Amino acid sequence: MNTTLPGAPAFHYQDGQLMVEQLRLSDLAREHGTPLFVYSKASMLAALAAYQAGFAGRKSQICYAMKANSSLAVLQVFARAGCGFDIVSIGELARVQAAGGDVAKVIFSGVGKTRAEMRSALHAGIGCFNVESEAEIDVLNEVALQEGLRAPISIRVNPNVDPKTHPYISTGLKGNKFGIAHERTLATYQRAAQLPGLKVVGIDCHIGSQITEEAPYLDALDRMLDLVEAIAASGIALEHIDFGGGLGIQYQAEEPPRADALWAKLLQKIDARGLQNHTLMIEPGRSLVGNAGVCLTEVLFMKPGEQKNFCIVDAAMNDLPRPAMYQAFHGIVPLVQTTDSAPRLLCDVVGPVCESGDWIGKDRNLAARAGDVLAVMSAGAYCMSMSSNYNSRPRPAEVLVDGASATLIRPREQISDLFRGETLAA
């Protein structure tokens, strides 16, 4: 078998064994059990380095969009590498603080921030609120004045471009709930600049996720830079331009642009307009962690059928929600390489949850037997952070690998964790 694995070179076969950096995944599965998430630190830092190379010599700030994977040790890797964080709730701010992140480098996105969240984030001293509606501007101004503070803000523009991705993860179209319409942006800046509780510092946009073409980015940047010029002409000085996240990764055959190559093109546009004095910010999530993780899962039963064959594994939609939510594809490969002559079965890989939507992969050609362990590839983003306890299933453990050393960064949940804090009625 000669497959190129997403996440290579950190994930590769050596002597028939699937490795993560210098360790055998089968050893980690034996030690920690399954289902198990395993992340490669080198792979995360390599993904970050592509952005850093793109920004070399520029005033810039990379804010990791932590909803992609918010485990503390993952945040710590990015905090130590100098990243800020893009948060969408006050719970995420608490995680940044617990992981040793710099609160001054935190930006707060999201269409529905509560007053309590605004208050906490103001007192913590975050870098910027990315506001998403005209109503939010008034409420944030009010809250800041009550607290005797001034809220640094950026307005999220909805540029109305089609990112050509799954409708659930497209965010920069007119019909999406995100941002302020392009046509309303200038008037909104003029109003915000008058409000004493606010300090206008930037502009931002984020057009979607798992974007694999460069055209939507180039179009969105043009529209955004038109606005930056119009805002400057109206006498409002912006310090930063935040271009969001959304760059896709390879799950199957996608060929997303490389971060450094994409940024070379985007920077040309910024320079052509003489706007290079602004600090550039970005909010990548998936592209920093997606290919850096796998989920290991054991085959429980093979179940051949008349119409379909099933490979039933111990991971399910509560651990890996992307296939059920977005019909997403994840590569599924054995931890121990099989020979080309091993008998194969065309099957759907499914979990134990009582839903027909509980599948991990469809129509896969696998030489799997009960007891084998499989790796679900590209599981570093939007898997553990979206996992749940549905069907009262404890969530998996997580391991972070750095070279030849592995750290258990989250133990497997225990059954008693499932109903901690619940009480019976009188």
Point out which residues bind ligand PLP (CB under 6 A): 65, 67-68, 86, 109, 206, 209, 244-246, 283-287
Instruction: Please compute Rg for the chain using Cα positions.
Output: 23
Q: Is 354 a catalytic residue?
A: yes
Q: Taking CA 316 as the corner, what is the angle to CA 75 and CA 352, rounded to the nearest 5 degrees?
A: 155
User: Toward ligand PLP, which CB reaches closer, 206 or 322?
Assistant: 206
User: Toward ligand PLP, which CB reaches closer, 279 or 309?
Assistant: 279
**Which residues, at least 6 apart from 309, have a Cβ–Cβ distance to it below 8 Å?**
302, 303, 345, 346, 347, 348
Using CA atoms, how far apart are residues 321 and 326, in angstroms rounded to an integer?
8
User: Toward ligand PLP, which CB reaches closer, 25 or 289?
Assistant: 289
**Which residues, at least 6 apart from 422, have a Cβ–Cβ distance to it below 8 Å?**
none
Helix (H) or strand (E) holding 338: none
Cα–Cα nearest to 206, from 292, 290, 287, 326: 287
Cα–Cα nearest to 54, from 218, 286, 258, 263: 263
Contact at 8 Å (CB) between 365 and 344? yes
CA 362 to chain centre: 24
User: Toward ligand PLP, which CB reaches closer, 67 or 322?
Assistant: 67
User: Toward ligand PLP, which CB reaches closer, 51 or 359?
Assistant: 51
Q: How far apart are the first and last CA of the chain?
A: 61
By DSSP bridging, strand 198-204 and strand 151-158 are: parallel
Output the smallest distance, CB 344 to ligand PLP, in A: 34
Output the smallest distance, CB 178 to ligand PLP, in A: 7
Using CA atoms, how far apart are residues 132 and 123, in angstroms rounded to an integer?
21
Q: Which residue's Cβ has the minimum distance to ligand PLP? A: 285
User: Toward ligand PLP, which CB reaches closer, 163 or 334?
Assistant: 163
**Which residues, at least 6 apart from 318, have a Cβ–Cβ distance to it below 8 Å?**
351, 353, 387, 388, 389, 390, 391, 393, 395
Output the smallest distance, CB 137 to ligand PLP, in A: 17
Output the smallest distance, CB 273 to ligand PLP, in A: 23
**Which residues, at least 6 apart from 24, have a Cβ–Cβ distance to it below 8 Å?**
17, 18, 335
Query: Tokens 């225990």 belong to which residue?
Result: 414
Output the smallest distance, CB 304 to ligand PLP, in A: 38
Using CA atoms, how far apart are residues 268 and 63, in angstroms rounded to an integer?
22
Using CA atoms, how far apart are residues 334 and 424, in angstroms rounded to an integer?
44
Output the smallest distance, CB 15 to ligand PLP, in A: 35
Q: Taking CA 172 as the corner, what is the angle to CA 221 and CA 132, rounded to the nearest 5 degrees?
A: 100
Using CA atoms, how far apart are residues 295 and 317, in angstroms rounded to an integer?
12
Output the smallest distance, CB 383 to ligand PLP, in A: 12
Give the residue ranges of DSSP H helices in 236-346.
Answer: 259-272, 286-289, 322-326
User: Toward ligand PLP, which CB reaches closer, 11 or 129?
Assistant: 129
Using CA atoms, how far apart are residues 89 and 208, in angstroms rounded to an integer?
19
User: Toward ligand PLP, which CB reaches closer, 40 or 171?
Assistant: 171
Output the smallest distance, CB 180 to ligand PLP, in A: 13
User: Which residue in 63, 205, 311, 354 is the catalytic one?
Assistant: 354
| Catalytic annotation, residues | 354
